[in-house]
Amino acid sequence: MTLTAMLDVLLKPLRRPLCTLLSGGALLVGGCSATNEQLSPSLQLISRLPPANDASGLPDELSKPVVMIHFLASWCSLCAFELPYIVALRRNEDAEHVGIVVIAIDDSPEDAVALAARFRLPVPLVIDTSGATKGLFDLADLPTTVLINSHGAPVAVRNPKTGEMTSRFVGAYEWDRGDLLRSLLALK
C-alpha cells in the first residue's frame, strides 16, 4: 500500500469535517465534495437537471472517483427489469467509491417521479426533457449505463456478456452480483 493510500484510509473519517472547516462550509478543498465548477462539463450538465426524487445527494454522487450514469425511461421494460439490480447495488455495497445517478430520458416528469417511487430509488434520479444528455453521451438504446470518473473520462470494466473492457453497457445487467460487481468494487 502506498503512503498516499494509507493516509487516505487514516484520514477518511476526518475528510468531510476537515473539508467543511477549511472551506468555510463551501467544500472547495481538493479531495472534498466537488462544487459545480469543479465538475467536468458532462457532470455539470447532469447536476443542473431537475430531480424526480430527493436528489440532495447528487453533488456527492457526482464527486465520487467513479460515477455510474444510468439512462432509462419509465416505459422501457428492460429498464424496469434492471433497476432493482441498481437499487440492490447501492443498498448492499459500499458507496464511497462509486457514485450512481439515474437519468430519465424520453420520459415525462410525472412518469419519472412514479418510477422513482415504485422502486424506492436510493440514488438521485434526474429528468432530461431536453435530450441534452442523450446527445452528449451518444445514446441510441435504453437502458444504457456509462461509467466515467469525476473528470468525465471513461472508466472501463469487463463486460460479463462480451468479455471486453468497456465503459458503456447497453441493455440490462445484474449490477449487484458476479463478475460485474467484482469489477466495480475493484475500481476502489
39 shares its domain with 9 = no
Where does the pLDDT of residue 57 fall: very low under 50, low under 70, confident under 90, or very high at 90 and above?
confident
10 shares its domain with 100 = no
CATH number of the structural domain spanning residue 132: 3.40.30.10
16 shares its domain with 92 = no
pTM: 0.77
95 shares its domain with 28 = no
Note the pLDDT tens digit of each residue in 72-95. Answer: 999 999 999 999 999 999 988 867
Range of the domain at 125: 33-185
C-alpha torsion sign, points 119, 92, 71, 133: positive
Where does the pLDDT of residue 188 fall: very low under 50, low under 70, confident under 90, or very high at 90 and above?
low
28 shares its domain with 38 = no
Where does the pLDDT of residue 23 fall: very low under 50, low under 70, confident under 90, or very high at 90 and above?
very low
16 shares its domain with 75 = no
What's the CA gap between 139 and 170, in Å, rounded? 9
Amino acid at 66: V
